[in-house]
Amino acid sequence: MAKAKVTFGSDVETKRFILDVFGKAVDADGYVVEKVNHAQRVLTPDGEEVTVNDFAGLHKGSLVFVKSDLVSTIQMADRLK
């Protein structure tokens, strides 16, 4: 089976749409949160909170949030090997 490649723009409205599909939202401070509990911010594997501006994507399986900085991107690439 061929792997599908999905890309999306970095604009905030596209990010909000994708987060909504996965049951997430953006709070008043710009952090990604659980849609049903806005007090619960999502975390990266390193325990960092994620802002909508830093949000770069999700990993299949348990939701693993990836920030758009170089270190986070390299760490995710290493996990996908």
Q: Tens digits of per-residue pLDDT, 69-78?
A: 888 888 878 8
The answer to whether residue 2 is domain-embedded is no
The answer to whether residue 64 is domain-embedded is yes
The answer to whether residue 43 is domain-embedded is yes
Q: Give the residue numbers spanning the domain of 73.
A: 12-79
Question: How do residues 18-75 score in pLDDT, each as one tens digit?
Answer: 899 889 999 999 999 999 999 999 998 889 999 999 998 887 666 777 888 888 888 8
Q: How many domains does the chain have?
A: 1
Identify any residues that bridge with 57 across adjacent strands, giving them in sequence order: 66
Question: Quick one: 19 exposed, middle or buried, by C-beta within 10 A (0-12, 13-18, 19+)?
Answer: buried
**Interval 3-14 mean pLDDT:** 70
Identify any residues that bridge with 55 across adjacent strands, giving them in sequence order: 67
**DSSP at 15:** H
Quote the pTM value: 0.68
The answer to whether residue 7 is domain-embedded is no
The answer to whether residue 3 is domain-embedded is no
Give the confidence band of 3 by pLDDT, cuts at 50, 70, 90: low
Query: What pLDDT score was predicted for residue 45?
Result: 86
